[in-house]
């Protein structure tokens, strides 16, 4: 059966609700094209989301969906995956969802190595609630709750997930759409917890508060600051701030939770029979 990208998107829900210049729609488009490209049936795909602007992403997919609570997408997804190995499970999250209120679920999903693909559209603030700072707002940046500059330090999400045990970790941007598709496709095909961070932009809040000059200027700046891991590693330490590595940052074969759990079931059944 030939599948088209339109099979995965709910045409009747378009145009989407996001502001002009927001990156979230770019990510949704990429995910839909990847699902079509991989030919994963819509009824074998489950999309879980949290709450936020990107938390609305599930509305646009003609797949199964679980629109839960802020930050909990991965916790819902973990229950889905644990009992349905045959389903492709994606958790689409904002930076508030994934890194801030849901940070605990993120590190544990990575550690537990559930076969879930987590995609974070990181726009460095809480878009939905009016542009407050999140755990990925860089130090010193202005938001609606850090008018004098953010006194906190931001997370490097990819490093966080690598540290937590994630086997597939990648970063991409809304400028590099083809690369984004390739990385998402690889993430979905990877057996185990896979993580893709999209360095997104929120021209409406973060961009305005920090006078970043609109969506085009923001995407141009993201493009300027993105480089390969190799190139980034060669930068002297003092030159690194502001720049970030993109592409596949970490790949490691690891046995996923469900495979491990099948061993548990086997052992349990063997010992049950003996007793």
Ligand X SMILES: Cc1ncc(C[n+]2csc(CCOP(=O)(O)OP(=O)(O)O)c2C)c(N)n1
* Contacting residues toward another protein, per CB under 8 A: 13, 42-44, 46, 48, 51, 56, 58-59, 62-69, 72, 75-84, 86-87, 104-105, 108, 112, 257, 261, 264-265, 267-269, 272
* Least separation in angstroms between CB 71 and ligand X: 7
Site residues, ligand X (CB under 6 A): 51-54, 70, 94-97, 123, 125-129, 134
> At how many degrees (to 10) do helices 103-112 and 157-164 cross?
40
* Residue number, nearest CB to Mg ion: 94
* Least separation in angstroms between CB 191 and Mg ion: 29
Closest CA to 102 of 128, 76, 132: 76
**DSSP line for 3-39:** --GGGTB-GGGPSPSSPTT-SHHHHHHHHHHHHHHHT
Binding range to Mg ion, per CB under 5 A, among 21-29, 83-91, 92-100, 188-196 = 92-100
Q: Are 60 and 35 in contact (CB under 8 A)?
A: no
* Least separation in angstroms between CB 21 and another protein: 23
Residues 50, 55, 71, 94: which binds Mg ion (CB under 5 A)?
94
β-strands 244-251, 168-172 pairing: antiparallel
49 binds Mg ion (CB under 5 A): no
Q: Which does 75 bind (CB under 5 to 8 A by kind): Mg ion, another protein, ligand X, none?
A: another protein
* Least separation in angstroms between CB 94 and ligand X: 2
Closest CA to 71 of 60, 55, 87, 57: 55
Phi, psi of 52 (to 5 degrees): 150, 180
Q: Are 244 and 173 in contact (CB under 8 A)?
A: no
Phi, psi of 170 (to 5 degrees): -145, 155
Q: Which does 80 bind (CB under 5 to 8 A by kind): Mg ion, ligand X, another protein, none?
A: another protein
Q: Which two tokens stand for residue 214?
A: 């609109």
Residues 45, 48, 117, 123: which binds Mg ion (CB under 5 A)?
123
Q: Which residues bind Mg ion (CB under 5 A)?
A: 94-95, 123
């Amino acid at each position: 059966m030939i599948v088209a990208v339109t099979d995965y998107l709910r045409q009747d829900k378009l145009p989407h609700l996001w502001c002009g210049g927001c990156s979230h729609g770019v990510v949704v488009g990429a995910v839909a094209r990847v699902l079509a490209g991989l030919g994963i049936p819509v009824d074998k795909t489950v999309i879980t989301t949290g709450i936020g602007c990107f938390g609305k992403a599930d509305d646009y997919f003609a797949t199964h969906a679980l629109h839960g609570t802020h930050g909990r997408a991965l916790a819902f997804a973990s229950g889905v995956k644990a009992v349905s190995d045959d389903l492709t499970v994606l958790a689409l999250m904002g930076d508030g969802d994934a890194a801030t209120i849901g940070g605990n679920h993120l590190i544990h999903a990575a550690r537990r190595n559930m076969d879930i693909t987590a995609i974070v559209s990181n726009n460095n603030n809480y878009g939905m609630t009016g542009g407050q700072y999140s755990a990925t707002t860089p130090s010193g940046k202005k938001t609606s709750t850090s008018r004098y500059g953010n006194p906190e330090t931001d997370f490097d999400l990819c490093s966080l997930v690598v540290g937590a045990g994630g086997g597939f970790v990648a970063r991409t941007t809304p400028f590099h759409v083809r690369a984004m598709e390739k990385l998402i496709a690889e993430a979905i095909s990877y057996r185990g917890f896979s993580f893709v961070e999209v360095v997104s932009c929120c021209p409406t809040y973060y961009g305005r508060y920090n006078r970043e000059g609109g969506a085009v200027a923001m995407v141009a700046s993201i493009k300027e600051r993105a480089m390969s891991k190799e190139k980034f590693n060669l930068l002297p330490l003092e030159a690194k701030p502001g720049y970030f590595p993109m592409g596949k940052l970490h790949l490691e074969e690891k046995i996923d939770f469900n495979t491990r759990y099948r061993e548990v079931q086997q052992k349990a059944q063997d010992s049950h029979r003996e007793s």
